[in-house]
Amino acid sequence: MQEFLIDSALDMHLHLRDGDMLKLVGPLTSKTFSAALVMPNLVPPVTTKEALLAYKERILEACKEDEFDPKMTLFFKNDYSYEFLKDVKDEIIAIKLYPAGITTNSETGVASMDVEVLRPTLESMSKLGIPLCIHGETNGFVMDREKEFMPIYESIASSFPDLKVIMEHITTKDAVEMLDKYDNLYATVTLHHLLITLDDVAGGMLNPHLFCKPIAKRPEDRSALLKAALSGHSKLMFGSDSAPHPKHKKECCGCAAGVFTSPIALQVLVELFEKNKKLENLNSFVSLNAQKIYNYKPKEKKIKLIKKEFIVPAEYSYENEKVVPMFAGESLAWSIEG
């Protein structure tokens, strides 16, 4: 039977939520991933050292059976002092910036993306070597939001050449092209944006389980993302943006944005890279690139994928929480051994 070894898989953009949802989804990542960059958009967002450490404890508790290293992030604020950031530096891997109101639990994000407004915190981060992760969307027309954000990436990357700036969950050809323009600009891409376009969300029936932010774009955008990922582009990392919402908030009128991919990400990535005859680049995409960009050495954790059918569960549940994964009920070509 065909096999493939993934070595210390890293999910560089993950939502673990809190409470029962954390207990439900935490182990679905920690089982197979060596580490993950955990997003701080709780309610309220993670903005203090105490909240950060307490959240990390809850994550480790939820994933206790597994070797798993949650890499923590702070929610960006304009008024973080240099002293605060210096004190918290060793507890975080990055700071995540959200424009206000741009996605789930981002209401207290920054109101202005003007570099001069952001400068105090960004200068401290640059001096301390703390990377900046950005949800890069404007409030414009939904299909243009990421493209319109490109000048802001350029402005930050050029104003702070020593700051590592990560364009999170990129979805467009424009963002892929931007990657090569600035040495200090990097990106994550999700599994679902390598696979779907707006057609899958709203081209046939409306599919709320594939509704996410940023919204899936055009076929030529997906092609550009896929080409970069398959090539093992050294500035592009896997970040699932796996974003669980309770089932009832997805299958209702006015559904929440987010695709839940943690339990199926590695299986589908192996299938995708195998189909495109690029398996030799998969470990770069899911681990090595991130190790270099974040200067992080994960504990070794080898996961064996085997070419054997895996039927994705219709849903995962814990207590009263239920969450529906991507490809729910469908058959995948690869499964995780054991």
Q: Which residues contact a second copy by CB under 8 A?
A: 141-143, 197-199, 201-203, 205-209, 211, 215, 218-219, 250-257
CB neighbours (10 Å) of residue 226?
18
| Residue in the structure block whose two tokens are 């950031």 | 85
CA distance 35 to 73: 13
d(CA 235, CA 337): 30
Going by the annotation, the residues of the binding site are 13, 15-17, 41, 96, 135, 169, 241, 245, 257
Query: Closest approach of Cβ 140 to a second copy, in Å?
Result: 9
The C-alpha angle 31, 225, 161, rounded to 5 degrees, equals: 90
- Tell me how crowded residue 126 is: count the other CB atoms within 10 A of its CB: 19
Q: Which of 69, 174, 221, 241 is catalytic?
A: 241
HSE-CB of 312 using CA atoms within 13 angstroms? 24
Please say whether the dihedral angle defined by the alpha carbons of residues 105, 43, 95 and 17, taken in this order, is positive or negative: negative
| Cβ closest to a second copy, residue 24 vs residue 201 | 201
Number of neighbours of residue 76 by Cβ within 10 angstroms? 26
Whether the Cβ atoms of residue 65 and residue 27 lie closer than 8 Å to each other: yes
Task: Round to whole Å and give the CA distance between 331 and 296.
Answer: 35
Residue 191 CB, nearest approach to a second copy (Å): 20
DSSP labels for 161-173? TTS-EEETT--SH
Beta bridge partners of 317: 322
Minimum separation from the CB atom of position 21 to a second copy (A): 19
Reference 152, options 188, 214, 99; nearest CA is 99
Comparison of 159 and 223: residue with beta carbon closer to a second copy? 223
Would you say 198 or 332 has its CB closer to a second copy? Answer: 198
Q: Which residue, 197 or 267, has its beta carbon nearer to a second copy?
A: 197
- Give the whole-angstrom CA distance, residue 35 versus residue 264: 16
Smallest gap, in angstroms, from Cβ of residue 99 to a second copy? 14
Which residue, 202 or 279, has its beta carbon nearer to a second copy? 202
Annotated binding site for substrate: 15-17, 41, 135, 245, 257
Q: Has 241 been annotated as catalytic?
A: yes
Q: In whole angstroms, how close is the CB of 222 to a second copy at the nearest point? A: 10
Q: Which of 12, 17, 9 is nearest to 243 (CA)?
A: 17
Kindly list the catalytic residues. 241
